[in-house]
Structure 1
Amino acid sequence: MLDRLGISAGIEAVYWAMVEHPTWNVDELATSLDVPETVVHDAFSTLADQALITPSPGQEGTLRSVSLRLGLLALLHQAEQQTITQQAKLLAARASVLAHAASHDTHRGREEIVRLEGADTVWERLTEHACTASESVMTLTTGRAMPPGTIETARTLTRIALSRGVTIRHIYQECTLDDARSRAHAELMAEQGEQSRVMSEAPVRMTVVDRKFALIPIGPGPRRGALEIRGSSLVSTLCLLFDLLWEKSREFPRSANTDRDGLNDQTVAILRLLRQGRTDEAIGRQLQLSERTVRRIVRDLMRRLDAKSRFQAGVEVALRRWI
């Protein structure tokens, strides 16, 4: 049954045996399933990564299966997210291909696709939109970081649009917010009225104005310019893509409340899961963070604790009674 969710038959057999016999140890599981103990241990590793088993709070050093309902729902959610991501990528690819094809189609009305050459031309056009938009601006930002010049210009244009009562919805790719300057910008814009969300993978950079105009970059960087799509079915496709991603993305993580040790709720949750022996991947899945973000937070904690290993960090956390 679980093979459709990425769990092999051998690992599934171990899982169901744990569900039916929660007190069995490795030896008993291996004997019952007629497999070597190494197979059971390997299955434990996979099941822990999938958050289907967890350390038993009552018996140190032992594992137990999580609630059957919660475990299977977590697997289904992961499969659904992968499907949604793939669907979003296909929609983005379709819109990009059609836009570029249309820009070279001499039989199509030239007013539908306009090529904006260079970053200055793009920003001038975005300024016009900020000053004339009547309803909404939807933006999808990708990449490792927002360039400083882009941040300053985006900040100005966002304030102009917000001051005119325009609704701004912005989806940030998670890795973009790993950059301190980009995150500070996103937090400031959220405080000033921008509706912000985050997703682990964003398929394409774009800005859609009033659901009538869409700008998508010509290349990976802003220097080459952008294609502006006007009032065509391509804009509708991009709007559909954005709405889909908006529904499946998560709320922008505002600055969390910190305790007297300077720990926010997210950091405390990561520390608790680390003490349970969870991997970065399993922690990210449970807290809806990317593995990269979890690694960054753990690395910052180790630096703060002056710890050379995770074990040493765990000892320091216990000594300081952080959790």
Structure 2
Amino acid sequence: MLDRLGISAGIEAVYWAMVENPTWNVDELATSLDVPEAVVHDAFSALADQALVTPSPGREGNLRSVSLRLGLLALLHQAEQQIIAQQAKLLAARASVLARAASHDIHREREEIVRLEGPDTVWERLAEHACTASESIMTLTTGRAMPPGTIETSKNLTRIALSRGVTIRHIYQESTLDDAGSRAYAELMAKQGEQSRVMTEAPVRMTLVDRQFALIPIGSRSCRGALEIRGSLLVSTLCLLFDLLWERGMEFPMPANADRDGLTEQTVAILRLLRQGRTDEAIGRQLQLSERTVRRTVRDLMRRLDAESRFQAGVEAALRRWI
């Protein structure tokens, strides 16, 4: 049954044996299933990665299966997220194909797709949109970081649009927010009224204005310029893509108030689960955080605690009375 959710038959057999016999140890499981103990240990690792098993509080060194309902729902959630990601990629591919076809279709009106050459031309056009947009500006940002020049210009244009009552929605790729400058920009804009969400992977950079204009960078380097698409079916497709990504995105995590040790409530919650031996994925699922956010927090905590392992970090945090 679980093979459709990425669980092999051998690992599934170990899981059901644990569900039906919660007190069995490795030896008993191996004997019952007639497999080597190493196979059971490998299954434990795979099940832990899927958050289907957890350390047993009553039997030190042993594992127990999580609630059957929670475990299966977690697997279904992962499968659904993979399908959603694939749908987003297909929509992005569709938009790319339509854009390529439109740019070579001589039967289209000249003003439907306009090539903006160079970054200065693009920023001038974005400034015009900030001053003339009547309803909304929707932006999807990808990449490892926003260049400093882009950040400063974007601050000014966003403030102009917000001051005019324009709704701004911004989706950031999670890797972009790993950059300190980009994250500071996103936090500042969120405080000033920008609605923000985060996605692990974002398919394409774009800006949509009033659902009538779309600006898409030319090639992988925005310094070459952008294509501005005006009032076509392709703009509608890009808006549908953005709406889908927005619905599936995570709320932008604004920094919470820190205590005297500089710890936020979120950080303390991660520390407690870390001490329990939870994986990054399990912690993220319980706290409704992305796995990347959990990894980044754990990495920072280990550095602060001068810990060489996750377990040592949990112990050191307890000794310092952080948790």
Q: What stretches of structure 2 of length at least 5 have no aligned partner? A: none
Letter in 2 for 1:102: A
Q: How does 1:140-219 map to 2 (within 5 A)?
A: 140-219=140-219
Cα pair distance change 1:178/1:220, threshold 3 Å: same
Count matched residues: 323
Mapped to 2, the partners of 1:316 and 1:272 lie a distance apart of 12
Structure 1: distance between partners of 2:295 and 2:168: 31
- Assess if the C-alpha contact under 8 Å between 1:49 and 1:278 holds in 2: no
- Distance in 2, matches of 1:287 and 1:12, equals 27
Mapping of residues 235-254 of structure 1, within 5 Å: 235-254=235-254
Whole-Å separation in 1 of the counterparts to 2:281 and 2:40? 20
Q: What aligned pairs does 1:64-213 form with structure 2 within 5 A after superposition?
A: 64-213=64-213
Task: Give the gaps of 5 or more residues in structure 1.
Answer: none
Per the TM alignment, residue 301 of structure 1 is displaced from its structure 2 partner at its CA by 1.3
- Cα distance in 1, alignment partners of residues 17 and 309 from structure 2: 35
Following TM superposition, by how much is the alpha carbon of 1:249 offset from its aligned partner in structure 2, in angstroms? 0.7
1:273 corresponds to: 273
8 Å Cα contact 2:207-2:216 kept in structure 1: yes
Shift of 1:6: 0.6
Shift of 1:286: 4.5
CA contact (8 A) 1:15 1:47 kept: yes
Q: Per the alignment, in what secondary structure is the counterpart of residue 111 of structure 1?
A: helix
TM-score of the two chains, using structure 2 as the length reference: 0.95
Give CA-to-partner distance per residue, 1:31-60, whole Å, 9 cap, x none: 111111111111111111111111112222
The answer for the alignment partner of 2:310 in structure 1 is: 310
Give the aligned partner of residue 320 of structure 1: 320
1:10 counterpart residue number: 10
Q: Is the 8 A contact 1:103 1:114 kept in 2?
A: no
Q: Which stretch has the larger CA shift, 54-63 or 204-213?
A: 54-63
Contact 1:198-1:250 at 8 Å conserved across structures: yes
Residues 59-68 or 208-217, more deviating: 59-68
Cα distance, 1:176–1:288 mapped onto 2, change above 3 Å: farther
| 1:123 partner amino acid | W
Q: Distance in 1 between matches of 2:264 and 2:168?
A: 28
Please say if residues 277 and 311 of structure 2, whose CA atoms lie closer than 8 Å, have aligned partners that are also in contact. Answer: no
How far did residue 194 of structure 1 move? 0.5
Check whether the contact 1:141–1:206 (CA below 8 A) recurs between aligned residues: yes
Contact conserved, 1:14 with 1:43, CA < 8 A, in 2?
Answer: yes
Q: Note the C-alpha offset of 1:287.
A: 4.2
User: Are 2:275 and 2:311, in contact at CA under 8 Å, matched by a contact in 1?
Assistant: no
5 Å matches for 1:225-236? 225-236=225-236
Distance, in Å, in 2 between the alignment partners of 1:104 and 1:115 is 13
| Equivalent residues of 1:140, 1:206 under 8 A apart | yes
Q: Which is worse superposed, 285-294 or 191-200?
A: 285-294
Instruction: Give the conservation status (yes or no) of the 8 Å contact 1:200–1:289.
Output: no
Mapped contact 1:52–1:71 kept (Cα < 8 A): yes
Instruction: Give aligned-pair identity as a percent.
Output: 88
What letter corresponds to residue 99 of structure 2 in structure 1?
A: A
Moved more, 108-117 or 124-133: 108-117
Q: Are residue 31 (structure 1) and residue 31 (structure 2) matched?
A: yes
SS across alignment from 2:114 = strand
TM-score by length of 1: 0.95
Query: What is the CA distance between 1:245 and its match in structure 2?
Result: 0.6
CA displacement at 1:259 relative to structure 2: 2.6
